Amino acid sequence: MSLGLVGVVVCGNFSRDDFPSGFSFGASSSAYQTEGAANEDGRTPSIWDTFTHAGYVKGATGDRASDGYHKYKLRIVDLQEDVQLMAETGLDAYRFTISWSRLIPNGRGPINPKGLQYYNNLINELISHGIQPHVALHHFDLPEILEDEYGGWVSRKIIKDFTEYANVCFREFGDRVKHWTTISEANAFSLSGYDWGVTPPRRCSYPYGNCSRGDSTTEAYIAAHHILLSHASAYRLYEKNYKDKQHGFVGITIIAHAFVPLTDSKEDEIATKRANEFFIGWFLHPLTFGDYLPLMKKSAGSKIPAFTVQESESVTGSLNFLGLNYYFAVNIKHIPRTLPPEKRDVKADIGIQLLATKNITSQFEYPITPWYLAEILEYVKQHYYNPLIYIYENGQKTRHNSTLEDWPRIEYLHAHIGTILDSIRNGSNVKGYFTWSFLDCFELIDGYESSYGLYYVDFDDPELRRQPKLSAYWYSHFLKRKGITMDI
Protein backbone atom coordinates (compact mmCIF):
# COMPACT_ATOMS: atom_id res chain seq x y z
CA MET A 1 0.00 0.00 0.00
CA SER A 2 1.19 3.49 -0.56
CA LEU A 3 0.84 6.34 1.82
CA GLY A 4 -0.28 8.64 -0.99
CA LEU A 5 -3.01 10.69 0.56
CA VAL A 6 -1.58 11.02 4.02
CA GLY A 7 1.51 13.03 3.27
CA VAL A 8 3.66 13.37 6.30
CA VAL A 9 1.96 13.29 9.61
CA VAL A 10 4.05 13.80 12.65
CA CYS A 11 3.87 13.71 16.45
CA GLY A 12 2.33 10.91 18.55
CA ASN A 13 5.11 9.48 20.62
CA PHE A 14 4.44 5.78 20.57
CA SER A 15 4.80 2.93 18.14
CA ARG A 16 3.67 -0.65 18.21
CA ASP A 17 7.08 -1.67 19.54
CA ASP A 18 6.14 0.04 22.78
CA PHE A 19 3.49 -2.64 23.33
CA PRO A 20 4.48 -5.83 25.12
CA SER A 21 5.52 -8.70 22.88
CA GLY A 22 2.58 -10.98 22.16
CA PHE A 23 0.13 -8.07 22.15
CA SER A 24 -2.36 -8.60 19.30
CA PHE A 25 -3.70 -5.88 17.08
CA GLY A 26 -6.73 -6.74 15.05
CA ALA A 27 -10.13 -5.75 13.78
CA SER A 28 -13.62 -7.08 14.43
CA SER A 29 -16.79 -8.06 12.68
CA SER A 30 -19.91 -10.01 13.52
CA ALA A 31 -21.76 -12.65 11.53
CA TYR A 32 -25.11 -10.99 10.95
CA GLN A 33 -23.56 -7.61 10.24
CA THR A 34 -21.04 -8.84 7.69
CA GLU A 35 -21.83 -12.25 6.20
CA GLY A 36 -25.04 -11.60 4.31
CA ALA A 37 -26.23 -14.80 2.56
CA ALA A 38 -28.96 -14.82 5.18
CA ASN A 39 -31.10 -17.35 3.33
CA GLU A 40 -28.37 -19.33 1.64
CA ASP A 41 -27.00 -22.81 2.08
CA GLY A 42 -29.34 -23.85 4.86
CA ARG A 43 -29.02 -20.92 7.28
CA THR A 44 -32.21 -20.21 9.25
CA PRO A 45 -33.20 -16.82 10.73
CA SER A 46 -31.84 -15.55 14.01
CA ILE A 47 -33.68 -13.15 16.33
CA TRP A 48 -31.76 -10.37 14.58
CA ASP A 49 -33.23 -11.30 11.16
CA THR A 50 -36.68 -11.18 12.73
CA PHE A 51 -35.95 -7.76 14.23
CA THR A 52 -34.70 -6.20 11.00
CA HIS A 53 -37.44 -7.74 8.87
CA ALA A 54 -40.02 -6.18 11.19
CA GLY A 55 -38.54 -2.83 10.12
CA TYR A 56 -36.85 -1.75 13.36
CA VAL A 57 -33.59 -0.64 11.74
CA LYS A 58 -34.86 2.01 9.36
CA GLY A 59 -36.04 -0.73 7.00
CA ALA A 60 -32.50 -2.04 6.49
CA THR A 61 -31.52 -5.70 6.95
CA GLY A 62 -28.37 -7.80 6.97
CA ASP A 63 -29.68 -10.06 4.21
CA ARG A 64 -26.75 -9.12 2.00
CA ALA A 65 -24.64 -6.93 4.35
CA SER A 66 -21.00 -6.88 3.18
CA ASP A 67 -21.35 -10.37 1.66
CA GLY A 68 -18.52 -11.69 3.79
CA TYR A 69 -19.95 -15.18 3.23
CA HIS A 70 -18.74 -15.07 -0.36
CA LYS A 71 -15.97 -12.54 -0.21
CA TYR A 72 -13.60 -13.84 2.45
CA LYS A 73 -11.34 -15.27 -0.21
CA LEU A 74 -9.72 -14.09 -3.40
CA ARG A 75 -11.83 -15.17 -6.35
CA ILE A 76 -11.14 -12.64 -9.06
CA VAL A 77 -7.55 -11.76 -9.71
CA ASP A 78 -7.74 -7.99 -9.48
CA LEU A 79 -10.35 -7.82 -6.77
CA GLN A 80 -8.82 -8.08 -3.32
CA GLU A 81 -10.96 -9.95 -0.88
CA ASP A 82 -11.24 -9.77 2.84
CA VAL A 83 -8.63 -12.04 4.36
CA GLN A 84 -6.05 -10.89 1.87
CA LEU A 85 -6.87 -7.29 2.77
CA MET A 86 -6.45 -8.12 6.45
CA ALA A 87 -3.04 -9.59 5.74
CA GLU A 88 -1.99 -6.59 3.69
CA THR A 89 -3.19 -4.27 6.42
CA GLY A 90 -0.93 -6.14 8.80
CA LEU A 91 -3.53 -7.47 11.27
CA ASP A 92 -2.27 -10.01 13.81
CA ALA A 93 -5.79 -11.17 14.57
CA TYR A 94 -9.39 -11.01 13.43
CA ARG A 95 -12.44 -11.24 15.68
CA PHE A 96 -15.47 -12.70 13.95
CA THR A 97 -18.58 -14.38 15.27
CA ILE A 98 -20.25 -17.62 14.27
CA SER A 99 -23.86 -17.58 13.19
CA TRP A 100 -25.39 -20.32 15.35
CA SER A 101 -28.31 -20.71 12.93
CA ARG A 102 -25.93 -21.16 9.98
CA LEU A 103 -23.97 -23.88 11.75
CA ILE A 104 -26.92 -25.60 13.45
CA PRO A 105 -30.09 -24.47 11.65
CA ASN A 106 -32.47 -26.08 14.15
CA GLY A 107 -30.63 -24.59 17.13
CA ARG A 108 -29.74 -28.10 18.26
CA GLY A 109 -29.13 -31.35 16.45
CA PRO A 110 -27.71 -31.77 12.96
CA ILE A 111 -24.81 -29.62 11.79
CA ASN A 112 -25.24 -27.84 8.46
CA PRO A 113 -22.32 -29.08 6.29
CA LYS A 114 -22.28 -25.85 4.28
CA GLY A 115 -22.07 -23.76 7.45
CA LEU A 116 -19.31 -25.97 8.81
CA GLN A 117 -17.43 -25.65 5.55
CA TYR A 118 -17.74 -21.88 5.48
CA TYR A 119 -16.26 -21.42 8.96
CA ASN A 120 -13.53 -23.99 8.26
CA ASN A 121 -12.64 -22.16 5.06
CA LEU A 122 -12.58 -18.78 6.77
CA ILE A 123 -10.45 -20.06 9.65
CA ASN A 124 -8.04 -21.82 7.29
CA GLU A 125 -7.76 -18.74 5.11
CA LEU A 126 -6.93 -16.64 8.18
CA ILE A 127 -4.37 -19.12 9.50
CA SER A 128 -2.70 -19.44 6.11
CA HIS A 129 -2.24 -15.66 6.11
CA GLY A 130 -0.80 -15.72 9.62
CA ILE A 131 -3.88 -14.13 11.21
CA GLN A 132 -5.13 -15.44 14.57
CA PRO A 133 -8.87 -16.10 14.67
CA HIS A 134 -10.69 -14.83 17.79
CA VAL A 135 -14.22 -16.19 17.72
CA ALA A 136 -17.43 -15.24 19.52
CA LEU A 137 -20.34 -17.66 19.63
CA HIS A 138 -23.28 -15.33 20.21
CA HIS A 139 -23.61 -11.75 19.05
CA PHE A 140 -27.28 -10.73 19.46
CA ASP A 141 -28.22 -13.56 17.07
CA LEU A 142 -29.85 -16.50 18.83
CA PRO A 143 -31.57 -18.88 16.38
CA GLU A 144 -35.18 -17.72 16.08
CA ILE A 145 -36.33 -21.31 16.35
CA LEU A 146 -35.13 -21.44 20.00
CA GLU A 147 -36.73 -18.06 20.75
CA ASP A 148 -40.02 -19.42 19.40
CA GLU A 149 -39.75 -22.76 21.10
CA TYR A 150 -39.02 -21.68 24.67
CA GLY A 151 -38.28 -17.96 24.77
CA GLY A 152 -34.53 -18.24 24.21
CA TRP A 153 -32.44 -16.72 26.98
CA VAL A 154 -35.34 -16.32 29.42
CA SER A 155 -35.57 -20.11 29.72
CA ARG A 156 -33.13 -22.41 31.52
CA LYS A 157 -33.39 -24.69 28.49
CA ILE A 158 -30.94 -22.40 26.75
CA ILE A 159 -28.08 -23.66 28.95
CA LYS A 160 -28.11 -27.14 27.46
CA ASP A 161 -28.51 -25.95 23.86
CA PHE A 162 -25.82 -23.28 24.15
CA THR A 163 -23.39 -25.73 25.73
CA GLU A 164 -23.94 -28.23 22.95
CA TYR A 165 -23.47 -25.50 20.32
CA ALA A 166 -20.23 -24.46 22.03
CA ASN A 167 -19.20 -28.12 22.10
CA VAL A 168 -19.65 -28.37 18.33
CA CYS A 169 -17.52 -25.25 17.82
CA PHE A 170 -14.74 -26.37 20.18
CA ARG A 171 -14.70 -29.82 18.59
CA GLU A 172 -14.76 -28.68 14.97
CA PHE A 173 -12.65 -25.51 15.10
CA GLY A 174 -10.70 -25.68 18.36
CA ASP A 175 -7.61 -27.20 16.76
CA ARG A 176 -7.12 -23.78 15.11
CA VAL A 177 -9.15 -21.31 17.22
CA LYS A 178 -7.53 -20.51 20.58
CA HIS A 179 -9.62 -17.54 21.72
CA TRP A 180 -13.30 -18.13 22.37
CA THR A 181 -15.83 -15.59 23.55
CA THR A 182 -19.11 -17.15 24.60
CA ILE A 183 -21.35 -14.06 24.50
CA SER A 184 -20.69 -10.62 23.02
CA GLU A 185 -21.76 -7.59 25.06
CA ALA A 186 -23.61 -9.73 27.59
CA ASN A 187 -24.68 -6.68 29.62
CA ALA A 188 -25.91 -4.66 26.63
CA PHE A 189 -27.70 -7.67 25.16
CA SER A 190 -29.56 -8.24 28.45
CA LEU A 191 -30.50 -4.60 29.00
CA SER A 192 -31.37 -3.47 25.53
CA GLY A 193 -33.02 -6.73 24.48
CA TYR A 194 -35.06 -7.44 27.64
CA ASP A 195 -35.52 -4.13 29.50
CA TRP A 196 -35.48 -1.35 26.91
CA GLY A 197 -36.59 -3.61 24.06
CA VAL A 198 -34.64 -1.71 21.44
CA THR A 199 -32.54 -4.62 20.14
CA PRO A 200 -33.33 -8.28 19.41
CA PRO A 201 -35.27 -10.10 20.79
CA ARG A 202 -37.21 -6.91 21.57
CA ARG A 203 -38.84 -7.92 24.82
CA CYS A 204 -39.93 -5.25 27.31
CA SER A 205 -42.99 -3.84 29.02
CA TYR A 206 -44.71 -0.51 29.55
CA PRO A 207 -43.67 2.12 30.60
CA TYR A 208 -40.05 1.12 30.05
CA GLY A 209 -40.38 0.26 26.40
CA ASN A 210 -42.81 -0.52 23.63
CA CYS A 211 -42.85 -4.26 22.90
CA SER A 212 -45.52 -6.83 22.23
CA ARG A 213 -44.18 -9.19 24.91
CA GLY A 214 -41.72 -9.30 27.75
CA ASP A 215 -41.36 -7.82 31.25
CA SER A 216 -38.85 -5.03 31.81
CA THR A 217 -39.03 -5.45 35.58
CA THR A 218 -37.57 -8.97 35.61
CA GLU A 219 -36.45 -10.43 32.31
CA ALA A 220 -33.11 -8.68 31.90
CA TYR A 221 -32.04 -10.25 35.22
CA ILE A 222 -33.28 -13.65 34.13
CA ALA A 223 -31.64 -13.51 30.68
CA ALA A 224 -28.37 -12.36 32.26
CA HIS A 225 -28.56 -15.21 34.78
CA HIS A 226 -28.95 -17.79 32.02
CA ILE A 227 -26.17 -16.15 30.05
CA LEU A 228 -23.86 -16.50 33.06
CA LEU A 229 -24.84 -20.14 33.59
CA SER A 230 -24.50 -20.95 29.87
CA HIS A 231 -21.14 -19.23 29.72
CA ALA A 232 -19.90 -21.10 32.77
CA SER A 233 -21.18 -24.37 31.43
CA ALA A 234 -19.34 -23.87 28.12
CA TYR A 235 -16.21 -22.80 30.00
CA ARG A 236 -16.29 -25.90 32.22
CA LEU A 237 -16.86 -28.13 29.20
CA TYR A 238 -13.81 -26.64 27.48
CA GLU A 239 -11.75 -27.03 30.62
CA LYS A 240 -12.76 -30.68 30.99
CA ASN A 241 -12.67 -31.91 27.39
CA TYR A 242 -10.54 -29.60 25.29
CA LYS A 243 -8.09 -27.48 27.28
CA ASP A 244 -5.39 -30.16 27.54
CA LYS A 245 -5.36 -30.81 23.82
CA GLN A 246 -6.18 -27.40 22.40
CA HIS A 247 -4.61 -25.03 24.95
CA GLY A 248 -7.11 -22.26 24.22
CA PHE A 249 -8.85 -19.59 26.29
CA VAL A 250 -12.51 -18.89 26.98
CA GLY A 251 -13.94 -15.52 27.98
CA ILE A 252 -17.03 -13.36 27.82
CA THR A 253 -17.41 -9.80 26.52
CA ILE A 254 -19.14 -6.83 28.12
CA ILE A 255 -19.46 -3.28 26.95
CA ALA A 256 -18.37 -0.42 29.19
CA HIS A 257 -19.53 3.12 28.77
CA ALA A 258 -17.85 6.10 30.30
CA PHE A 259 -20.43 7.29 32.82
CA VAL A 260 -20.32 11.00 33.51
CA PRO A 261 -22.60 12.75 36.03
CA LEU A 262 -25.22 14.87 34.30
CA THR A 263 -24.78 17.71 36.78
CA ASP A 264 -22.28 18.40 39.52
CA SER A 265 -24.80 17.50 42.22
CA LYS A 266 -23.73 15.00 44.86
CA GLU A 267 -26.68 12.79 43.89
CA ASP A 268 -25.63 12.52 40.26
CA GLU A 269 -22.08 11.85 41.32
CA ILE A 270 -23.13 8.96 43.56
CA ALA A 271 -25.56 7.65 40.94
CA THR A 272 -22.67 7.60 38.46
CA LYS A 273 -20.66 5.43 40.84
CA ARG A 274 -23.60 3.03 41.08
CA ALA A 275 -23.96 2.98 37.29
CA ASN A 276 -20.33 2.05 36.84
CA GLU A 277 -20.31 -0.57 39.57
CA PHE A 278 -23.45 -2.13 38.10
CA PHE A 279 -22.51 -2.04 34.42
CA ILE A 280 -19.18 -3.76 34.95
CA GLY A 281 -20.09 -5.80 38.02
CA TRP A 282 -23.36 -7.33 36.80
CA PHE A 283 -21.30 -10.00 35.03
CA LEU A 284 -17.79 -9.56 36.36
CA HIS A 285 -18.77 -9.79 40.04
CA PRO A 286 -20.35 -13.26 39.78
CA LEU A 287 -17.57 -14.40 37.45
CA THR A 288 -14.99 -13.33 40.04
CA PHE A 289 -16.76 -13.86 43.37
CA GLY A 290 -19.59 -16.27 42.57
CA ASP A 291 -22.54 -14.02 43.38
CA TYR A 292 -24.29 -10.84 42.27
CA LEU A 293 -23.18 -7.44 43.49
CA PRO A 294 -24.50 -6.49 46.94
CA LEU A 295 -25.77 -3.28 45.31
CA MET A 296 -27.96 -5.31 42.96
CA LYS A 297 -29.18 -7.80 45.53
CA LYS A 298 -30.21 -4.93 47.74
CA SER A 299 -31.98 -2.91 45.06
CA ALA A 300 -33.61 -5.71 43.07
CA GLY A 301 -34.24 -8.07 45.99
CA SER A 302 -35.99 -11.27 45.06
CA LYS A 303 -36.14 -10.29 41.38
CA ILE A 304 -32.51 -11.36 41.06
CA PRO A 305 -32.25 -15.11 40.53
CA ALA A 306 -30.13 -16.90 43.11
CA PHE A 307 -27.20 -19.17 42.33
CA THR A 308 -27.20 -22.60 43.92
CA VAL A 309 -23.93 -23.51 45.63
CA GLN A 310 -23.00 -25.66 42.67
CA GLU A 311 -23.85 -22.96 40.13
CA SER A 312 -21.89 -20.41 42.08
CA GLU A 313 -18.85 -22.69 42.04
CA SER A 314 -19.20 -23.21 38.32
CA VAL A 315 -19.47 -19.48 37.60
CA THR A 316 -16.64 -18.39 39.91
CA GLY A 317 -13.43 -18.04 37.96
CA SER A 318 -14.93 -19.25 34.68
CA LEU A 319 -12.95 -16.70 32.76
CA ASN A 320 -9.56 -16.85 31.06
CA PHE A 321 -10.01 -13.30 29.84
CA LEU A 322 -12.51 -10.49 29.80
CA GLY A 323 -13.53 -8.98 26.47
CA LEU A 324 -14.20 -5.27 26.87
CA ASN A 325 -15.85 -3.03 24.28
CA TYR A 326 -15.76 0.74 24.61
CA TYR A 327 -17.06 3.53 22.42
CA PHE A 328 -18.34 6.66 24.17
CA ALA A 329 -19.49 8.54 27.24
CA VAL A 330 -23.04 8.57 28.63
CA ASN A 331 -24.48 11.01 31.16
CA ILE A 332 -26.00 9.65 34.36
CA LYS A 333 -28.84 11.26 36.26
CA HIS A 334 -29.94 10.18 39.72
CA ILE A 335 -33.50 8.84 39.92
CA PRO A 336 -35.14 8.48 43.33
CA ARG A 337 -36.41 4.95 43.96
CA THR A 338 -40.03 5.74 44.74
CA LEU A 339 -41.70 2.80 43.01
CA PRO A 340 -41.69 -0.64 44.67
CA PRO A 341 -39.22 -3.18 43.17
CA GLU A 342 -41.94 -5.08 41.28
CA LYS A 343 -42.68 -1.94 39.29
CA ARG A 344 -39.08 -1.00 38.58
CA ASP A 345 -36.96 -1.93 35.62
CA VAL A 346 -33.21 -2.41 35.97
CA LYS A 347 -32.25 1.27 35.72
CA ALA A 348 -34.96 2.19 38.18
CA ASP A 349 -33.59 -0.46 40.55
CA ILE A 350 -30.12 1.07 40.28
CA GLY A 351 -31.68 4.53 40.58
CA ILE A 352 -30.21 5.89 37.38
CA GLN A 353 -31.24 7.34 34.08
CA LEU A 354 -28.85 7.12 31.12
CA LEU A 355 -28.80 10.10 28.79
CA ALA A 356 -26.85 10.73 25.62
CA THR A 357 -24.25 13.40 26.29
CA LYS A 358 -24.62 16.75 24.58
CA ASN A 359 -21.45 15.83 22.77
CA ILE A 360 -23.13 12.83 21.19
CA THR A 361 -26.31 14.56 20.22
CA SER A 362 -24.57 17.55 18.69
CA GLN A 363 -22.12 15.81 16.38
CA PHE A 364 -22.35 12.74 14.18
CA GLU A 365 -18.96 11.33 15.14
CA TYR A 366 -18.31 10.26 18.71
CA PRO A 367 -16.44 12.74 20.86
CA ILE A 368 -12.97 11.41 21.51
CA THR A 369 -12.78 10.68 25.23
CA PRO A 370 -10.11 8.01 25.73
CA TRP A 371 -9.36 9.02 29.32
CA TYR A 372 -12.57 7.31 30.39
CA LEU A 373 -11.32 4.04 28.94
CA ALA A 374 -8.24 4.43 31.14
CA GLU A 375 -10.52 4.91 34.17
CA ILE A 376 -12.52 1.80 33.29
CA LEU A 377 -9.36 -0.27 32.89
CA GLU A 378 -8.12 1.05 36.23
CA TYR A 379 -11.47 0.21 37.86
CA VAL A 380 -11.42 -3.34 36.55
CA LYS A 381 -7.80 -3.74 37.61
CA GLN A 382 -8.49 -2.60 41.16
CA HIS A 383 -11.82 -4.34 41.75
CA TYR A 384 -11.45 -7.61 39.86
CA TYR A 385 -7.86 -8.78 40.36
CA ASN A 386 -6.58 -7.29 37.14
CA PRO A 387 -7.95 -9.83 34.63
CA LEU A 388 -6.45 -10.41 31.22
CA ILE A 389 -8.35 -8.17 28.81
CA TYR A 390 -8.95 -8.02 25.10
CA ILE A 391 -10.48 -4.82 23.80
CA TYR A 392 -12.70 -6.45 21.17
CA GLU A 393 -14.50 -3.37 19.90
CA ASN A 394 -13.57 0.28 19.79
CA GLY A 395 -14.06 2.54 16.85
CA GLN A 396 -15.36 5.73 15.38
CA LYS A 397 -18.67 6.25 13.64
CA THR A 398 -18.81 8.34 10.48
CA ARG A 399 -21.52 8.80 7.89
CA HIS A 400 -21.29 5.95 5.46
CA ASN A 401 -21.44 8.26 2.47
CA SER A 402 -18.82 10.69 3.75
CA THR A 403 -15.26 10.98 2.46
CA LEU A 404 -12.64 8.21 2.46
CA GLU A 405 -10.38 10.64 4.27
CA ASP A 406 -11.72 9.65 7.65
CA TRP A 407 -9.61 11.81 9.92
CA PRO A 408 -12.03 11.51 12.87
CA ARG A 409 -11.46 7.74 12.83
CA ILE A 410 -7.69 8.13 12.72
CA GLU A 411 -7.76 10.55 15.63
CA TYR A 412 -10.05 8.23 17.56
CA LEU A 413 -7.89 5.13 17.02
CA HIS A 414 -4.70 6.99 17.75
CA ALA A 415 -6.05 8.43 20.99
CA HIS A 416 -7.45 5.14 22.26
CA ILE A 417 -4.45 3.02 21.35
CA GLY A 418 -2.22 5.57 23.11
CA THR A 419 -4.38 5.48 26.21
CA ILE A 420 -4.32 1.68 26.30
CA LEU A 421 -0.54 1.83 26.17
CA ASP A 422 -0.55 4.17 29.18
CA SER A 423 -2.85 1.77 31.05
CA ILE A 424 -0.59 -1.17 30.26
CA ARG A 425 2.37 0.81 31.53
CA ASN A 426 0.41 1.40 34.73
CA GLY A 427 -0.18 -2.32 35.20
CA SER A 428 -3.39 -3.16 33.32
CA ASN A 429 -3.30 -6.59 31.75
CA VAL A 430 -4.54 -5.73 28.25
CA LYS A 431 -3.37 -8.26 25.66
CA GLY A 432 -5.06 -7.13 22.48
CA TYR A 433 -6.85 -4.34 20.69
CA PHE A 434 -9.43 -4.89 17.97
CA THR A 435 -11.04 -2.00 16.20
CA TRP A 436 -14.67 -2.16 15.18
CA SER A 437 -14.89 -2.67 12.31
CA PHE A 438 -12.72 -4.11 9.61
CA LEU A 439 -15.24 -3.38 6.85
CA ASP A 440 -18.26 -1.16 6.63
CA CYS A 441 -21.21 -3.39 7.43
CA PHE A 442 -24.82 -3.45 8.59
CA GLU A 443 -25.00 -1.47 11.84
CA LEU A 444 -27.27 -2.40 14.73
CA ILE A 445 -28.93 0.97 15.16
CA ASP A 446 -28.33 2.82 11.89
CA GLY A 447 -28.39 0.14 9.21
CA TYR A 448 -26.22 1.50 6.42
CA GLU A 449 -26.30 5.21 7.32
CA SER A 450 -23.28 5.14 9.57
CA SER A 451 -20.21 3.01 9.43
CA TYR A 452 -17.06 2.23 11.36
CA GLY A 453 -14.97 0.36 8.79
CA LEU A 454 -11.31 0.77 7.96
CA TYR A 455 -12.49 -0.26 4.50
CA TYR A 456 -15.35 1.39 2.70
CA VAL A 457 -17.91 -0.89 1.10
CA ASP A 458 -20.00 0.51 -1.69
CA PHE A 459 -23.37 -1.10 -0.96
CA ASP A 460 -24.76 0.02 -4.33
CA ASP A 461 -22.03 -1.75 -6.24
CA PRO A 462 -23.07 -5.28 -7.31
CA GLU A 463 -19.52 -6.43 -6.49
CA LEU A 464 -19.59 -4.65 -3.09
CA ARG A 465 -16.07 -3.49 -3.75
CA ARG A 466 -13.87 -2.69 -0.74
CA GLN A 467 -11.78 0.48 -0.73
CA PRO A 468 -9.29 1.48 1.93
CA LYS A 469 -10.09 4.59 3.89
CA LEU A 470 -7.30 6.74 5.18
CA SER A 471 -7.66 4.98 8.54
CA ALA A 472 -6.77 1.65 6.88
CA TYR A 473 -3.50 3.18 5.68
CA TRP A 474 -2.89 4.74 9.07
CA TYR A 475 -3.50 1.49 10.98
CA SER A 476 -1.44 -0.44 8.48
CA HIS A 477 1.52 1.87 8.80
CA PHE A 478 1.27 1.76 12.57
CA LEU A 479 1.17 -2.05 12.50
CA LYS A 480 4.03 -2.32 10.04
CA ARG A 481 6.20 -0.01 12.13
CA LYS A 482 6.51 2.48 9.36
CA GLY A 483 6.71 5.09 12.04
CA ILE A 484 3.51 6.79 11.06
CA THR A 485 2.65 9.37 13.60
CA MET A 486 0.00 11.98 13.85
CA ASP A 487 -0.19 15.64 14.45
CA ILE A 488 -3.53 16.06 16.19
Residues that bind ligand NAG (CB under 6 A): 210, 260, 329, 357, 359, 367-369, 374, 378, 382, 399, 401, 426-427
324/429 Cα distance (integer angstroms): 12
- By beta-carbon proximity to ligand NAG, the closer residue of 224 and 329 is 329
Residue positions annotated with a catalytic role: 185, 393
- By beta-carbon proximity to ligand NAG, the closer residue of 84 and 359 is 359
CB of 466 vs ligand NAG, minimal distance in Å: 20
CB of 56 vs ligand NAG, minimal distance in Å: 8
323/177 Cα distance (integer angstroms): 16
Question: Which one, of 284, 299, 308, 152, lies nearest residue 226 by Cα?
Answer: 152
249/243 Cα distance (integer angstroms): 8
- By beta-carbon proximity to ligand NAG, the closer residue of 120 and 401 is 401
For 442, residues 6+ apart whose C-beta sits below 8 A from its C-beta are 32, 33, 34, 52, 57, 60, 61, 62, 65, 66, 448
239/401 Cα distance (integer angstroms): 46
- By beta-carbon proximity to ligand NAG, the closer residue of 204 and 254 is 204
CB of 258 vs ligand NAG, minimal distance in Å: 7
99/96 Cα distance (integer angstroms): 10
36-74 residues labelled b (16+ CB within 10 A) or e (exposed): bbbeeeebbbbbbbbbbeeebbeebbbeebbbbbbbbee
For 361, residues 6+ apart whose C-beta sits below 8 A from its C-beta are none
- By beta-carbon proximity to ligand NAG, the closer residue of 241 and 357 is 357
Phi, psi (5° rounding) for residue 285? Answer: -65, -55
